[in-house]
């Protein structure tokens, strides 16, 4: 199993087990409440878009800390918060001590369960970009689109191909987040192309033929190349302009933030200089008036008193 041997842990850290439906949760005492919530959510939402209801049993291990998550997750990327192992039908995710970057555990678990459901039906047919895009779509990760709204690369460099998207998942946290968002957009686009059947016919054709392109032709009447072109054009048109506007707006706000103090300081200097000039003018005017009065007094003849 993937748990740290009990001999290496204090007695009070003994793992516990919870069996609910087809799910088995393994966790430590401080994650007992989290395990119960995850089990209830998993049972209540155990169907996935376009797929038959999964039947395979799944083991979910809740890591008590970051160190043991890294040990159990194995080759998971450093920035990952959970990982699914389709061959052994198990999932490892972080517990309640995880940082805020680990995400909503219910959403994270559904994302990983979607990976397993997709693999149960299609095996190893799916490329990485589709696998991740489908898991995000099934988990309702609408926030993925926010990444696209601020992705200036869409406006400046254009959309990647599916092959380039596949490679992006190994390019570090920033590149991967963009890849997840683009993959999500591709699967969502695919699902919208058949509002009656969604992805169900496409998945059935894909399973029967073993070919993504053949399934595209049968389900949607277009080739995989046509769909890739459609996805690239529509995504860049929808989000590239938003990203450009967002970044221009941000740059404008940053410029305003930098220039405003300079403008205020300039106004204050101008105001002080104007006040000094005004004071000097008033002083000169008073001196001229005094001189004029002195001259007037000096030229007047004295009068004897009455």
3-class state of residue 16 by DSSP: strand
pLDDT at residue 285 in the model:
63
Distance CA 291, CA 294 (A): 5
DSSP 132-164: HHHHHHHTT-TTHHHHHHT-HHHHHT-PPPHHH
Distance linking the first and last C-alpha atoms of the chain? 127
Residue 93 sits at φ, ψ, to 5 deg, of -140, 165
Q: Which domains does the chain have, with CATH numbers?
A: 1-124 (3.40.30)
At residue 144's C-alpha, the angle toward residues 141 and 148, to 5°, is 160
* pLDDT at 31 exceeding the cut of 90: yes
Give yes or no for a contact between 86 and 115, defined as CB atoms under 8 angstroms apart. yes
Distance CA 29, CA 15 (A): 7
Distance CA 187, CA 22 (A): 27
Note if the pTM is more than 0.85: no
3-class state of residue 20 by DSSP: strand
Give percent of the chain above pLDDT 70.
73
pLDDT at residue 168 in the model:
86
pLDDT at residue 59 in the model:
98
The pLDDT-based confidence of 42 (bands split at 50, 70, 90) is: very high
Mean pLDDT value across the chain: 81
- Strand pairing report for 16-20 and 82-85: unpaired
pLDDT at residue 235 in the model:
86
Give yes or no for a contact between 179 and 169, defined as CB atoms under 8 angstroms apart. yes
Number of other residues whose CB lies within 10 A of the CB of residue 165: 25
Give yes or no for a contact between 242 and 155, defined as CB atoms under 8 angstroms apart. no
Burial class (CB in 10 A: 0-12, 13-18, 19+), 262: exposed
pLDDT at residue 250 in the model:
38
Judged by average pLDDT, the poorest of 8-12, 152-156, 283-287 is 8-12
């Amino acid at each position: 199993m993937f748990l740290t041997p009990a001999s290496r842990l204090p007695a009070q850290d003994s793992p516990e087990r919870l069996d609910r439906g087809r799910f088995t949760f393994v966790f430590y005492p401080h994650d007992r409440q989290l395990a119960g919530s995850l089990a209830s959510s998993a049972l209540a939402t155990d169907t996935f878009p376009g797929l038959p209801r999964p039947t395979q049993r799944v083991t979910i291990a809740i890591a008590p800390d970051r160190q043991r998550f890294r040990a159990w997750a194995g080759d998971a990327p450093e920035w990952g918060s959970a990982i699914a192992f389709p061959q052994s039908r198990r999932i490892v995710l972080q517990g309640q001590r995880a940082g805020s970057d680990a995400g909503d555990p219910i959403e994270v678990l559904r994302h990983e369960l979607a990976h397993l459901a997709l693999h149960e039906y299609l095996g190893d047919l799916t490329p990485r970009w589709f696998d991740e895009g489908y898991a995000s779509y099934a988990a309702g990760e609408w926030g993925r689109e926010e990444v696209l709204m601020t992705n200036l690369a869409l406006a400046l460099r254009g959309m990647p191909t599916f092959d380039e998207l596949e490679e992006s998942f190994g390019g570090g946290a920033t590149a991967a987040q963009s890849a997840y968002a683009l993959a999500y957009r591709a699967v969502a686009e695919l699902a919208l192309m058949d509002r009656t059947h969604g992805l169900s016919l496409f998945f059935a054709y894909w399973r029967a033929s073993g070919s993504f392109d053949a399934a595209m032709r049968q389900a949607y009447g277009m080739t995989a190349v046509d769909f890739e072109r459609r996805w690239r054009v529509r995504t860049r048109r929808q989000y590239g302009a938003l990203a450009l506007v967002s970044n221009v707006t941000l740059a404008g706000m940053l410029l305003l933030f930098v220039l405003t103090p300079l403008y205020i300081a300039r106004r204050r200097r101008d105001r002080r200089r104007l006040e000094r000039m005004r004071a000097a003018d008033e002083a000169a005017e008073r001196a001229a008036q005094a001189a004029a009065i002195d001259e007037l007094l000096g030229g007047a003849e004295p009068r004897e008193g009455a």
